[in-house]
Structure 1
Amino acid sequence: MLHYIFNYFITIQIITTNQYLFNNQLQNQKKQQIIQKNLLLANNLNTIDFVIKQMEDQNNNNNNNNNKNPNKKDIPKIGPKLQNNKQCNKKSQNSALMFLSTSKMEQEEILKEKKLEKAKKNLKIGFTSGQIICESQIDKENFMEDDKQEIAFYEEQQNIMEEDEDDSFDSEEGNQQIGQHFNSDKLRDRQWRYNQLYGDYEDLNLLNQEVDLSNCLKNHKIPSILRSKMVDWMIEVFGNYKQTSSDKTYFRAVGLLDLFFKKQTKKLVESDVHLFGIAAMFLATKQEDISHISLDDIVEKVGHNKFTEKKIREAEYEILRIVDMKIDFPTTHTYLNRYLYKIFSSETNQTILQLTHFSLYILKQCVHDDKLLDYKSHILAFSAIVVSLKVYFSNLKGDSISPYNDLIQQEVQIMEKMFELISQSEHQNAKECIQRVNNFVFSFNQRYPELRNLEKFHY
């Protein structure tokens, strides 16, 4: 009898295992079909169109599944989870960094405020003869139970800090104990949330500080080619001061000049470009460089004694007055670095360095054309990175060693990450900008055959 029972259970186990393997095989087949379908779509369509369409479909599915806030406004974002800022803001009050930097008394006050907010949601309060009556029968111990573990954790952290002040952790055992506490999952999770929130707010602040440079030459009698020559000449000037100046200084100078043109109501003429271009470079080097270009060099080596010190200082003052002293606004270079960090973090392998270098080269080409400034600075920087990625993958596809389908899949994945950095409402605008940047880059030498400073000093 036992033999039959044993055989029965063995048979059931075999059937269950086979069913599991069969289901797993079906799931793998479905995944492969989806991957193949996506590869075919991406191969037939433009990769960017495919990514935008895929993200729109995903967003529509999410909206259908979650109709709690159908009238929710589309909040501009660069970093992930920006639309959850309000929720993250409440969570940030419990951040480990906040607790570790405050005294024990302050910690207790913060926890009390948190409990009071929680109580207001759960309690209905009425007033009778000057006494507060709680209509709901909520036990205080149940109310505080959620925070007991949290309080104990932070008290333990505070004790560690106090012991550390008394130099009681000089031993290896003490150092190991500190390491265990600060490597705990709770603390790491809270630090990650804090860093994530800080990063999202930094991205939002960059968007809020963005300046409008569109139609900067509209009110002036300055031809577009003259501005392009000035922008190209700035590359030569800062290229001769590589030990002290950087690309950041160059983009600051270009941005200051364009913002001055944009905000200046007085009509400027061609002869003004040279003077205000020099003044913008002088302001930029003082703003960005540790050891800035001296005024003597600006007058003699940069301006070739065409303008006196007094004239340059007057032009410098005029720029500061027109831009209302706000010269620390984010430039296209700021957004370029931010996006590259978001995608590649702090990785520094050869491929990423090449992509960074090429993206910077494309962005320098773009600022030659004042028409491309009609797009927002962060969209222009975003487009420069996307074009550099497309060129990179296009070159790889020409290599017969690399599997074509794998490259398509990698390109789709990285493009998805890129388009997650901007709000969905900007996808179509970004697509147009990418197309214009792509066309401009490959026709740059035909448009500006005489401007060779970028090619000379960038490589």
Structure 2
Amino acid sequence: MEDQNNNNNNNNKNPSKKDIPKIGPKLQNNKQCNKKVQNSALTYLSTSKMEQEEILKEKKLQKAKKNLKLGFASGQISCESQTDKENFMEDNKQEIAFYEEQSNIMEENEDDSFYNEEDNQQIAKNFTNDKIRDRQWKYNQVYGDYEDFNLLSQEVDLSNCLKNHKIPSILRSKMADWMIEVFGNYKQTSSDKTYFRAVGLLDLFFKKQTKKLVESDVHLFGIAAMFLATKQEDISHISLDDIVEKVGHNKFIEKKIREAEYEILKTVEMKIDFPTTHTYLTRYLYKIFSSETNQTILQLTHFSLYILKQCVHDDKLLEYKSHILAFSAIVVSLKVYFSNLKGDSISPYNDLIQQEVSIMEKMFELICQSEHQNAQDCIKRVNNFVFSFNERYPELKNLEKFHN
């Protein structure tokens, strides 16, 4: 009895399959496609549009040939010789091959009699899940590549944003930390998108502003950036009265904030809808993990956001492009996750290591090969920064306080 209990306890400590993040349908591992019908469905979902059309064409042609054979056997189709039969099939190939809709072809199980009932139920369940994910696959095929190109083409350069100003780096870090507190007090209406938009607007303004700014300008333009961000991202934005009284504590009158807001818009040439690091973060998480919402994916998303908010405090990390910084935040969160998972387990790590390597490989497929070295450097910088954040900024506690 004791041995049995020990075995049960050991099994509970071992990481289950639910603990391992699932890769999205576009990046499915072909090794998972072992059974006949499951392999057919997943192969269809993971191929390109051109390959998909070829698969459908071949399946429809096989179906048509099968029906023709039945027609010949039953006497419904009569030909004098075998040559006539072949000619008949060749002449009518296109018409017959496309007589059935795509959905009916894909849902058909040609022959599953060699599976037992339990296998058939599992195959049906997997196939149903693939049908649900088919909408995302179609989106990625039709719009995904265009959206990726569009996001990268709109990316803004924020490197050395304080170079032309008399603003110390620590003051900008304090402003980024204070913004967390401000939006944290409006968490029912504001979101992480609003926070990253506000910080991005302020950095872009610093980058493009030709006038030399000083320390006293940071507070005013920080408030104006938050006001712009909440009006752009929030359905119910923070009112100007609250901006003046609760956020600014009446330090600046409405006119002053309006003037600072206009100055930002003029400096950035009204281009305030550029993709932020948060935009790329959510994009990559969606592409690698699909629409999965299990507890593990939620934890990874939460931790990735936390790391990215940490990175926002350091203007030196802005020398990396926004999409590389977001990419690095996800990779570091994955590394920490798998490291903790291995530490909690007493079983061999082979399966976990294989799964970790697989996901990391899929992650690097999301960026072009020419950026791999730059991404590796950024990952190291981010990893070191994350574990030294409290030492660098011992007084900045709003991230820990408000990132629930």
Output one character per residue of 1:130-167: Cα deviation in whole Å (capped at 9) or x when no partner. Answer: 99999999999999999984899599899999999999
388-397 or 445-454, larger mean C-alpha shift: 388-397
State the Cα deviation string for residues 278-328 of structure 1 (Å, max 9, x = none).
Answer: 000000000000000000000000000000000000000110111111111
Q: Give the direction of change, closer, same or farther, for the CA distance of 1:232–1:405 in structure 2 (3 Å limit).
A: same
Structure 1 window deviating more from structure 2 (124-133 vs 415-424): it is 124-133
Q: Could you state the TM-score of these two structures normalised by the residue count of structure 1?
A: 0.62
- Contact (CA 8 Å) 2:38, 2:126: kept in 1 or not? no
For residues 354-374 of structure 1, the C-alpha deviation after alignment (integer angstroms, 9 at most, x for no partner) is 111000000000000000000
Q: CA deviation at 1:224?
A: 0.2
CA RMSD of aligned residues (A): 13.2
Change (3 A) 1:125 1:306: farther
Instruction: Say if 1:339 and 1:102 are closer, same or farther in 2 by CA, change over 3 A.
Output: closer
Contact 2:37 2:109 in 1 (8 A): no
1:351 Cα shift?
Answer: 1.0
Per-residue CA shift, 1:195-244, capped at 9, x if unaligned? 41311111111111111000000110100000000000000000000010
Deviation of 1:409 after TM superposition, in Å, equals 1.0
Deviation larger for 187-196 or 323-332: 187-196
216-225 or 399-408: which moved more?
Answer: 399-408
Q: 1:84 to 1:448 in 2, by over 3 A?
A: closer
Cα offset, 1:250, TM superposition:
0.2
Structure 1 residues 94 and 376 mapped into 2: Cα distance closer, same or farther (>3 Å)?
same
Structure 2 length normalisation: TM-score?
A: 0.70
* 8 A contact 1:82–1:200 mirrored in 2: no
> Which residue in 2 is equivalent to 1:249?
194
> Quick one: structure 1 residues 171 and 133, their matched pair in 2 at CA, closer, same or farther if it must change by over 3 Å?
closer
Structure 1: runs of 5+ lacking an equivalent? 1-54
DSSP-derived class of the 2:77 partner = strand
Secondary structure of 1:67's aligned partner: helix
Where do 5+ consecutive residues of structure 2 fail to align? none
Determine which structure has more spread, i.e. the larger CA radius of gyration. 1
Q: Which moved more, 1:387-396 or 1:145-154?
A: 145-154
Tell me the equivalent position of 1:188.
133
**TM-aligned CA distance change 1:445 to 1:129, over 3 Å:** closer
Structure 1 contact 79–421 (Cα < 8 Å) conserved: no
Distance of 1:57 and 1:377 partners within structure 2: 53
Report which stretch shifted further, 62-71 or 145-154: 62-71
Distance 1:318-1:111 versus aligned 2 partners, 3 A rule: farther
CA distance in 2, matches of 1:88, 1:171: 18
Distance 1:205 1:148, change over 3 A: farther
Determine if contact 2:24/2:291 at 8 Å carries over to the other structure.
no
Q: Could you tell me how far apart the structure 2 residues matched to 1:367 and 1:114 are?
A: 52
- Report if aligned partners of 2:167, 2:213 keep a CA contact under 8 Å in 1: yes
Cα 1:123/1:77, change in 2 over 3 Å: farther
Q: What residue number does 1:439 align with?
A: 384
CA distance in 2, matches of 1:73, 1:164: 28
8 Å CA contact 2:60–2:97 kept in 1: the answer is no
CA contact (8 A) 1:127 1:133 kept: yes
Q: Any conservation in 2 of the 1:88–1:197 contact (CA below 8 Å)?
A: no
Contact 1:77 1:422 in 2 (8 A): no
Taking only the aligned residue pairs, the percentage that are identical comes to: 90
Matched-pair contact (CA < 8 Å) for 2:189–2:235: yes
Mean Cα deviation higher: 94-103 or 200-209:
94-103
Q: Is the 8 A contact 2:289 2:297 kept in 1?
A: yes
- CA 159–280 in structure 1, closer or farther in 2 if over 3 Å, else same: same
SS in 2 for 1:73: helix
Comparing 129-138 and 301-310, the one that deviates more = 129-138
Which of 279, 285, 294 is the matching residue for 1:349? 294
Change (3 A) 1:238 1:405: same
